[in-house]
Amino acid sequence: MGRSSPVWHHETVQFSEELAKYLPSDLPNRDVVIEKSSRHLEMIVAANQYMNLTRITNPREAAIKHVVDSLAPWRLFEGASVVLDSGTGAGFPGLPLALVLPQVRFVLAESIQKKARFVESAIETLHIPNADVRPERAEQILKTKRTQVITARAMAPMHKLLDLFLPALKKGSRVLLYKGPDVDGEIQEAERHKVKAGIALRYELPEDMGSRTVIELKN
């Protein structure tokens, strides 16, 4: 079903309305973010018919849990030259962040090939020149590419993430992890590995859709 279908057009309008309602008014490039993120969500709904990208397709929930959540900590990524988004899935948080921060280069790692192909098509369709997807695991990319910031959203527990990212941390990368509200145990786990860990940001999603914490790791 193509973009000309009234069903998908209706979905896009709904996504636009929800994003306009919940994205902060001072967000950089806000109009572009609303337009392109709406189309991104529309593409996800269409692709979800033949591949499992997300359980969340209701317009309000998708707008908040995918885009608003991805963008809540955008200021933490300012000033980086390259950000690696590990396990980007359908393109979160990397693609919304790339729209807000066009001066930052975003490398999106996704080892599941069909998901990587979807993200590649989204980047091309939405014309996001500062983002590209790599169909491989983040730790493989980090062997050959230096990045100032690594981020991951809804990924593995802390001890597994430390195994993946410790070499990059030792080379000076910062790691920003999107987590839920209960992070004390994960911070203690990082400190047991002699990694500095702290809470960079806490925030509440709109409509009581959950509490979030961004943990920052440094060597």
pLDDT (tens digit per residue) in 97-120:
999 999 999 999 999 999 999 999
Query: Which residue ranges form the domains of the chain, and what is each CATH number?
Result: 6-218 (3.40.50.150)
3-state secondary structure 128-178: CCCEEEECCCHHHHHHHCCCCEEEEECCCCHHHHHHHHHHHHHCCCEEEEE
Q: Is the pLDDT of residue 57 over 80?
A: no
pLDDT confidence bin for 218, thresholds 50/70/90: very high
Q: Is the pLDDT of residue 3 over 70?
A: no
**Residue 53 has what pLDDT?**
84
Residue with tokens 């490398």: 107
pLDDT confidence bin for 176, thresholds 50/70/90: very high
**By the 8 A CB rule, do 102 and 126 touch?**
no
Q: Is the pLDDT of residue 2 over 60?
A: no
**By the 8 A CB rule, do 27 and 99 touch?**
no
**Residue 6 has what pLDDT?**
38
Structural tokens at position 177: 């992890």
Q: Is the pLDDT of residue 63 over 90?
A: yes
**Residue 187 has what pLDDT?**
94
pLDDT confidence bin for 10, thresholds 50/70/90: low
Average pLDDT, the chain: 92
Digit-coded pLDDT (tens) for 32-49: 999 999 999 999 999 988
Mean pLDDT in residue range 197-213: 96
112 φ, ψ to 5°?
-80, 115
Q: Tell me the percentage of the chain whose pLDDT exceeds 70.
A: 95
Q: Is the pLDDT of residue 157 over 80?
A: yes
